[in-house]
Amino acid sequence: MKDYHFKRILKQVLFLSFITSLMLAPGCDATVSTIDSPDDEIIELVQNPLFEFGADPWIIQHQDTFYYCYSLQDRIGVKRAVTIDQLKLAEEQIIWVAPTNTMYSKEIWAPELHFIDGKWYVYFAADDGDNVNHRMHMISSESSLITSQFKYLGKITDESDKWAIDGTILRHQDKQYFLWSGWEGDVNEQQNLYIALMDGPTRIQSERTLISLPEYDWEKMGSGNGLPTINEGPQILENNGKIFVIYSASGSWSDHYCLGALELVGEDPLLAESWKKYPAPVFFGNDCVISPGHASFIRIKEQDFIVFHHIRFAGGGWQNRQVKIQPFYWEEGRPSFGVPGLDGSLIRIAY
């Protein structure tokens, strides 16, 4: 009974919040009737952008809470809430501040929060201020509570120990793999996608396998004149037993950033031939939404959502990105992301 009344009250609060948002944004074309729902269902209408400033968005759900993990110069923050829209106003929790004068003190990029074996782990890229020294690093909580103290665990790398960013985790057939974007050698000319087998949450135990490199024209936009070609931001997307890696391609500094896709078609993820690359981008911008990329994915009550950043205006570069969320669907077993939504677009989420 208490849970029933809580849901009724929360629905009323979300309704009032939505009415307020319409008053502040009169150009929206959503209608109030879209929030009607059964008494046991909470409906939330989220107005984009989800965050007016932000990059490399990582949102997950653990138990009944949503977590948004992000970087702030030399620190890593987390916001948590019981609904997606409430993340906008959620209290910021700084879980870790980088010490000064280390190889991981600066340029902290794309932190990912994972709950593994009863603890929280964050994988992030960092360097000492010199990009050539970018590597993947880890912190973890002392307990299962996100509010517990986080400590630095060290670097996570394969034996090659080459430049690396955007690390993420794939769990497949009782094994755990690490995927990341990295250089083949020591020169900043091309970023590839690699995978390796993990031995627990903190160690890579195999050699890296190259699974994708920039080869199509749409993966090389914004490059040249000393700028590298790009495959980065690999993210795992699963559906009905199929595994995809959705990755970012072309220059993130340019107006041409987009998303490509790999599909696992073989049994062993460590074999390059087990991965099939789609020959065309699966999500790209237009004149209204510039340079969408580096996405994460979340499923809420059987509906899939993509969370992505894009540049606020043409030529805006890294410093002018914002975060949006929108639903996507499946066609013949493949993800269909559609067109990136406009500012002010209303996204219906059922809980």
CB 301 within 8 A of CB 289: no
Q: Could you give the strand order of the β-sheet that contains 209-212, starting from the edge strand earlier in sequence? A: 164-172, 175-182, 192-197, 209-212
- What are the residues whose beta carbons fall under 8 Å from the beta carbon of 118, sequence distance 6 or more? 143, 144
Amino acid at 232: E
- 54, exposed or middle or buried, with CB in 10 Å at 0-12, 13-18, 19+? middle
- Distance (Å, rounded) from C-alpha 241 to C-alpha 110? 27
Q: What is the CB neighbour count within 10 angstroms for residue 143?
A: 12
Exactly one of 85, 219, 232, 255 is catalytic; which is it? 232
Residue 286 DSSP code: -
Identify the CA nearest to 193 among candidates 171, 221, 215. 215
Neighbouring residues of 4: CB distance < 8 A, sequence distance ≥ 6? 39, 40
SS3 62: strand
Cα 154 to Cα 235: distance, rounded to the nearest angstrom:
22
Q: Which residues contact 172 (CB under 8 A, 6 or more apart)?
A: 243, 264, 269
Q: Which residue in the list 56, 158, 219, 255 is annotated as catalytic? A: 56
- Look up 158 and say whether it is catalytic: no
Structural contact between residues 59 and 296, judged by C-beta atoms closer than 8 angstroms: yes
| 56 carries an active-site annotation | yes
Closest of 142, 180, 176 to residue 162, by C-alpha: 180
Catalytic residue annotation? 56, 232
